[in-house]
Amino acid sequence: MKAQENGSSIFRNLTVLSIEQALSLPFFTYRLVQEGMRVIRVEPPGRGDPNRYVGTDVLGEEAMGSYFLPYNAGKESITLNLASEEGRGILHRLVAELPVDIFASNTRPMNYARLGIDYETLRQLKPDLIWVGVTGFGPDIDEPAYDPILQARAGYMDLTGEPDRPPQLFGLPMADMGVAEHGYGQVMKALFQRAVSGEGSRIDVAMYDSVISWTVIPFTMARTFGTVMKRTGNTHQFYAPASMFPSADGYVFVAVGSDQQWAQLTRMPEFAPLAREEYRHNAGRSANAQTLNRELAEITRTRTAAEVAPFFAEAGIPFSKIYTLPEVVEDPFAESKLLSASDPRTGLRVEMPPPPVMTPFLQEEHMAFSFAPRLGEHNHRIYGETLGYNPVEIAAFHQRGII
């Protein structure tokens, strides 16, 4: 009963069928894997997802590049040619007979009906199906989109970088991961609705809607108040000091969020020279941010990050050394909660960052997933054991390019 109470057995019983490629939808289904759901990738025969060929060939085999491995751990893979009528028929059997609880696709909307994956078609096969479509700009707009395009369109690049330099791409694919997280939330809501009413639902999640929803401050400032926020590099437009500063062994970031914090800091002898009237309130510090940051840097540069950290901690000021990625992966906070997947063929162990929230499934599985699937690795199991096709029929599907 304990597993049932914490919810893990409920999610373990859910099946997700996903026609996915690139990063947005695969990252979304990776989040569902972390809840214990069974996720089956549907890929075209032949080369499959183009992201299989990105990164380093760490296994010595085709279609398993290092970029593909982490966010596809825990999934299964089948191949299916949906351009053929026979392939579409097999997909429809899968939806009904697996049975599928959640169907997801990040195919362009113009292809929904042609591939037989539109909501109206699939709901006839399973009325309580939760259908998810991830698009660039919504189901009525067929414009293709990748993460950088959305960052450019939603103003992210205009807000990123130094004020006297060109716009820059954000360091992580926020449009891809953002729409994945928003889709995850909508699916959880749809599952609750289905549990209460027994009804399925259609969910359309657009990357543009996702990224623009996070621009609450800059969007409202520009539209309502005529205040255009600009690139500020490593500083903050409305708070000071909130910036990167040199230390004797690298860089640190300091973010003073209140006048009280600043007063606490400048009571210390090391920072007493900065206890000036023009810096007493945030408005004054912001107006004189360049001078203030230069003066504060003269103090921080004389000490290592470890030596200067206690001063900011005593003042209650958020502070961090700026970690390199090699340092991040060795951080005890991360190391204690790593996710992993080991390849039974080669023994390669892939380690991934901790999840945003620990789930009962992850605890039960000791933070380990099955390895990312080879292309079509589960064809025989799913087409044979689930749909009942015999080996001769499956071989014929291969020969005709159906799977």
Whole-structure pTM value: 0.93
Neighbours of 312 (CB within 10 A): 22
- Residues 6 or more apart whose CB falls under 8 angstroms from that of 64 comprise 52, 57, 58, 372, 374
Residue for token pair 């499956």: 394
E strand segments, 159-305: 201-206, 242-247, 250-255
Mean pLDDT of 284-296: 97
What pLDDT, on the 0 to 100 scale, is given for residue 166?
A: 97
CB atoms within 10 A of CB 162: 12
- How confident is the model over 47-72, as pLDDT tens digits? 999 999 999 999 999 999 999 999 99
Query: CB count, 10 Å around CB of 357?
Result: 9
Query: What pLDDT, on the 0 to 100 scale, is given for residue 168?
Result: 97
Residue 176 annotated as catalytic: yes
pLDDT in tens, 72-105: 999 999 999 999 999 999 999 999 999 999 999 9
Which residue stretches of 230-273 are H helix?
259-266
The catalytically annotated residue of 176, 204, 249, 331 is 176
Could you tell me if residue 168 is left (phi over 0), alpha (psi between -120 and 50 degrees) or otherwise beta?
beta
pLDDT number for residue 3: 39
Span 167-194, pLDDT tens digits: 999 999 999 999 999 999 999 999 999 9
Arithmetic mean of pLDDT over the chain? 95
Token duo for residue 285: 């510090």
Per residue in 366-398, pLDDT (tens digit) is: 999 999 999 999 999 999 999 999 999 999 999
Range 249-277 average pLDDT: 97
Mean pLDDT over residues 147-170, rounded? Answer: 96
